Copies of this chain bind each other. A is one copy, B any other.
Amino acid sequence: MTPGRMEAFSDGVIAILITVMVLGLRVPDGAQWSSLRDTVPTLLNYALSFVYLGIYWNNHHHMLQTVHSINGAALWANLHLLFWLSLFPVTTEWTSASHFAEVPVAVYGIVLLAAALAYYLLQTVIIRHQQPDSLLARAIGSDFKGKASPLFYILGIALAFVNPWIGVALYVAVACMWLVPDRRVERTLASSESASESMSESN
């Protein structure tokens, strides 16, 4: 199976999740500048979740660039990832509605953690389906970011009970770490393409 329809479906779901979160943005009461004050934390929280969904879409996109065939297990691993992503709007809204209380911030982190593990699982399922020394496996390499993120999330969940803003700060830190585009795949792809071009030229 080619990954085309899986990509299209994931794009659809992530696109909708990003916009469903918009429905959680309430129209401010009143029509003064001061009416916006209550909206600011909600908006920043929305922006954070938007960035997270953007990161997942981006990495998903990069990962599948190198993959030309998937199996049924990958379809389910992908749906499993989408399930956790689909909970982002609710946890985002709960965090905002509770004005960043301890439990909602921790639950926000738990869903982030579950999504990260689901992504890792999907990546593993796809790599296992490839040849041993596949492009994707080489591109990912030691996967420092993928392994560090869950630790940050766990730390964030725990420290949310000390002060929720420490939790939020750690979630923001992980987002920043990922915002740097994943050049590993681009670089490996580029070098592999130039390699295959020189091969086809020599033919």
Interface residues of A (CB under 8 A from B): 1, 5-9, 11-20, 22-23, 25, 27-28, 30-33, 35-36, 47, 50, 54, 57-58, 61-62, 65, 71-73, 75-76, 79, 82-83, 86-87, 89-90, 93-94, 97-98, 101-104, 107, 179, 181-183, 186
Total copies of the chain: 4
For residue A79, which residues in chain B have a CB less than 8 angstroms away from its CB? Answer: 50, 54, 57-58
CB A199 to nearest CB in B, in angstroms, measures 21
Contact A31 B179, beta carbon cutoff 8 Å: no
Q: Determine which of B5, B33, B186 lies in contact with A71 in the assembled complex, contact meaning CB atoms within 8 Å.
A: B186
How far, in whole Å, are A87 and B22 apart by their CA atoms in the complex?
A: 7
Give the dominant DSSP class at A's interface.
helix
CB A46 to nearest CB in B, in angstroms, measures 9
Q: Determine which of B22, B32, B181 lies in contact with A76 in the assembled complex, contact meaning CB atoms within 8 Å.
A: B181
For residue A33, which residues in chain B have a CB less than 8 angstroms away from its CB? Answer: 103
7 A-B pairs in the complex with CB atoms less than 8 angstroms apart: A5-B61, A9-B15, A9-B57, A16-B19, A19-B20, A20-B20, A61-B75
